[in-house]
Structure 1
Amino acid sequence: MELRQRLAEHLPMFGLEVRTPRLLLRYPDDEDALALAELGAMGVHDPGTQPFSILWTSVPPPHQQRNTLAFLWDQRSTAQRDDWHLPLVTVVDGEVVGTQGVLASSWTVLRQVETGSWLGRAHQGRGLGTEMRAAALHLAFAGFGAVRATTGAWHDNGASLTVTRRLGYRPNGDRLAVREGEAVVMEGFVMDRADWEPHRRDDIELVGAEAVAALFGTERPPGS
């Protein structure tokens, strides 16, 4: 039995996969984590821009890689019934090209998730950002029985805002937040299950989602 399968017996996240015609989302093992850390250090955005709230891309190597590895390992140990973060890696043709996160707080009460993602610069501009977000939403709504998904982006993050609007989110107000010492507008968006259903796809396959849903305290509802 492969190590990933053995781990999945105790931590079901290691058995989770979301498959689309273009990519695969899976929970990162150590090999995936290392690939993602090295990918991030190669560059995620233009040096003159900052799409993130946490300035992790400003940390120089090798500290950035260490921080990424520490973050991924921390999520393994801190995931619990009501508060969890799935930092899935995005894989295309066997290569880790980015990450798509799905996280929740007070999950069993709210059934609400938030998403966040990034792609290595060499893999941007190919529509993968839209595909991986669609996969994450399918996991949340069809796999976990979520009732709402939220996301946000800086007002000048055109790529992220385009993906969000394309997938059917509704504006949910904006707020001022600090970015590199300055007040900048963060635009918020929300998607209820009724907003997602018209965009629901029949070519996305879930593997191991029920076991993860049970770990997080909710069984997948009938018809989801």
Structure 2
Amino acid sequence: MLQDIPTPRLSESRPAVLQTQRLTLRKPVMADAIAVTELANDRRIAENTRRLPHPYSQNDAEQFVGSLHDEAATDAVFLIELDYRPIGMVGIDWREPDLPELGYWLGVEHWGRGFATEAVRAAIDYTFEEFAIDQLIAGARVANPASRNILEKCGFQWTGVQLHRFEAIGSSTPVDCFKLTRGVWSSLKNWASSTRR
């Protein structure tokens, strides 16, 4: 088990620009608020994301981005870019310090092309490499098999079903809950390395 240490703020970690085969992940800045608003203001996204309101305004985006630059911010949140164009967000929520939670969404036009899996894997690697945590948790609405598939492809293991409140629908709905332990993540990383040789 890892030694318990306070969760570091993002600014105490390495510079947060991650590169994957097709994507760049970076910390959002206020200039991104318009693009984030245009992407997130879609009911299909909000209904599958617990904390996104609908409609999603530019003020919502500005408040969110501003909160990431607050001195007390501990979230590791990334804007996902494809060819320098924002396409979504991925990040780790530390509201429960012992249970950091992965969350992600993509603009609808980018669904079904493997971008979410690629971005989620990068965020997972960053989190386990930079923070002393034993596991990540994540959830996906039972009615959202595509999101469950992403989590399973990234090594998450199903732990059960819980009811979670979704802001956009104004009620609770069943969510498949998952966890990814450091041991499983490490094994998957080692397997991937050995297959590339």
| Shorter-chain TM-score above 0.5 | yes
Question: Quick one: which amino acid aligns to residue 45 of structure 1?
Answer: R
Equivalent position SS for 1:97: strand
TM-superposed CA distance for 1:40, in Å, is: 2.0
**C-alpha distance 17-184 of structure 1, shift in aligned 2 (>3 A):** same
State how 1:201-216 maps to structure 2 within 5 Å: none
* Residue among 132, 141, 156 paired with 1:154: 141
**C-alpha distance 15-182 of structure 1, shift in aligned 2 (>3 A):** closer
TM-superposed CA distance for 1:183, in Å, is: 4.5
Does the 8 A contact of 1:104 with 1:113 survive in 2? yes
* Residue among 111, 115, 119 paired with 2:106: 119
TM-superposed CA distance for 1:181, in Å, is: 5.0
Q: 5+ residue gaps in structure 2? A: 1-10
**Paired residue for 1:145?**
132
Confirm or deny that 1:100 pairs with 2:90: yes
- The Cα offsets for residues 92-121 of structure 1, whole Å up to 9 and x where unpaired, read as 1111111101122464xx3x4211111111
Alignment RMSD, CA only? 2.6
Does the 8 A contact of 1:87 with 1:99 survive in 2? yes
Confirm or deny that 1:187 pairs with 2:191: no
Greater shift after overlay, 65-74 or 180-189? 180-189
Q: 5+ residue gaps in structure 1? A: 1-10, 203-224
TM-superposed CA distance for 1:141, in Å, is: 0.7
- The Cα offsets for residues 145-177 of structure 1, whole Å up to 9 and x where unpaired, read as 332100011111111101011111111221123
Greater C-alpha radius of gyration: 1
- The Cα offsets for residues 29-79 of structure 1, whole Å up to 9 and x where unpaired, read as 2222332223223x3627xx82122351x226xxx1211111110232153
State how 1:1-224 maps to structure 2 within 5 Å: 11=11, 15-41=15-41, 43=42, 45=44, 50-56=47-53, 58-59=54-55, 64-77=57-70, 79-80=72-73, 84-105=74-95, 107=97, 110=98, 112-179=99-166, 180-200=169-189
**C-alpha distance 20-120 of structure 1, shift in aligned 2 (>3 A):** same
Question: Quick one: which amino acid aligns to residue 85 of structure 1?
Answer: D
Question: Quick one: which amino acid aligns to residue 169 of structure 1?
Answer: F
TM-superposed CA distance for 1:135, in Å, is: 0.5
> Please, what TM-score do these two structures have when normalized by structure 2?
0.79
Equivalent position SS for 1:125: coil
Distance 1:85 1:55 in 2: 16
Distance 1:44 1:23 in 2: 25
Equivalent position SS for 2:100: strand
Equivalent position SS for 1:77: coil
**C-alpha distance 12-182 of structure 1, shift in aligned 2 (>3 A):** closer
